[in-house]
Structure 1
Amino acid sequence: MAAGKPLKNLLGLVQEGRTEEALQFIQTSENLDTSYLLHKKSGDSLLHDLATVGATQVFEAILITYPDTDINIRNFDGKTPLHDACQQGHRDTVHLLLQNGAKVNTLKKADWSPAMLAVTHPGRLDILKLLVKYGADLTLYNKDGWTTFQSGARSGDLEVLQFILNMHQDAWKNISKNGRTSLHTASLAGITDVVQFLLRIGGDPNSMDSCGNTPFMDAIRSANIQLLDIFLSEPRLKPDQCDKLGRNALHIAAESGQVDAIIKLRKIGLDLESKTGSGQTPLHSAAREGQTEVVRFLMQEKVDINHRDKNGRSALFLAVSGQHTDTSAILLQYGADLTGDNAGTFVETLARKQDIRELLERHKKN
Structure 2
Amino acid sequence: MQKSRRTGGNHRRATPTPSQRTALTEFDIHAACYVGNTAEVRRLLSQDQSDINRVGGLWGLTPVLTAALQGHRDMVELLVSRGADVSLVDVYGDNILHWASEGGGRETVEFVLSLDGVDVNSRGGGGWTPVMRAARGGHRDVVELLVSRGADVSLVDDDGDNILHLACYEGDGTTVEFVLSLDAVDVNARNSDGQTAADVASVRGHRQLSDLLVSRGTQ
Q: TM-score, normalised by structure 1?
A: 0.54
Deviation at 1:136, TM superposition (A): 4.8
Is the 8 Å Cα contact of residues 102 and 130 (structure 2) preserved in structure 1? Answer: no
- Match of 1:188? 69
- SS of the residue aligned with 1:330? helix
| Structure-2 separation of matches of 1:293 and 1:329 | 15
Q: Which AA in structure 1 matches 2:130?
A: A
Deviation at 1:171, TM superposition (A): 1.9
- SS of the residue aligned with 1:172? coil
* Structure 1: unaligned runs, 5 residues or longer: 1-85, 103-130, 338-366
1:135 matched to 2:14: yes
Moved over 4 A (4+): none
- Match of 2:40? 160
Find the partner of 1:330 among 205, 212, 217.
212
| Structure-2 separation of matches of 1:248 and 1:220 | 9
Q: Deviations over 1:237-271 (max 9, x none)?
A: 12211112000011011111122222221222221
- Match of 1:279? 160
1:306 matched to 2:178: no
Deviation at 1:101, TM superposition (A): 6.9
| Structure-2 separation of matches of 1:170 and 1:149 | 7
Q: Deviations over 1:187-241 (max 9, x none)?
A: 1111111100111222233421112222212212222211111011111212211
Deviation at 1:181, TM superposition (A): 0.1
Q: Deviations over 1:83-141 (max 9, x none)?
A: xxx86x7x9xx6xx545178xxxxxxxxxxxxxxxxxxxxxxxxxxxx4xx22548322
Q: Deviations over 1:143-193 (max 9, x none)?
A: xx9521111111222221122122226521211153210011111111111
| Structure-1 separation of matches of 2:181 and 2:170 | 19
| Structure-2 separation of matches of 1:139 and 1:280 | 44
Q: Which AA in structure 2 matches 1:198?
A: L
1:240 matched to 2:114: no
TM-align CA RMSD:
2.4
1:315 matched to 2:194: no
Higher RCO, Cα 8 Å, sep 6+: 2
Q: Which AA in structure 2 matches 1:320?
A: S
1:266 matched to 2:147: yes
Change (3 A) 1:146 1:243: farther
* Structure 2: unaligned runs, 5 residues or longer: none
- Match of 2:111? 230
| Greater gyration radius | 1
Identical aligned residues as a percent: 22
Find the partner of 2:79 among 198, 202, 205.
198
Is the 8 Å Cα contact of residues 164 and 171 (structure 1) preserved in structure 2? Answer: no
| Structure-1 separation of matches of 2:119 and 2:91 | 18
Is the 8 Å Cα contact of residues 123 and 129 (structure 2) preserved in structure 1? Answer: yes
Find the partner of 1:179 among 14, 36, 60.
60
Is the 8 Å Cα contact of residues 139 and 148 (structure 1) preserved in structure 2? Answer: no
| Structure-2 separation of matches of 1:245 and 1:221 | 14
Q: Which AA in structure 2 matches 1:166?
A: S
Is the 8 Å Cα contact of residues 254 and 285 (structure 1) preserved in structure 2? Answer: yes
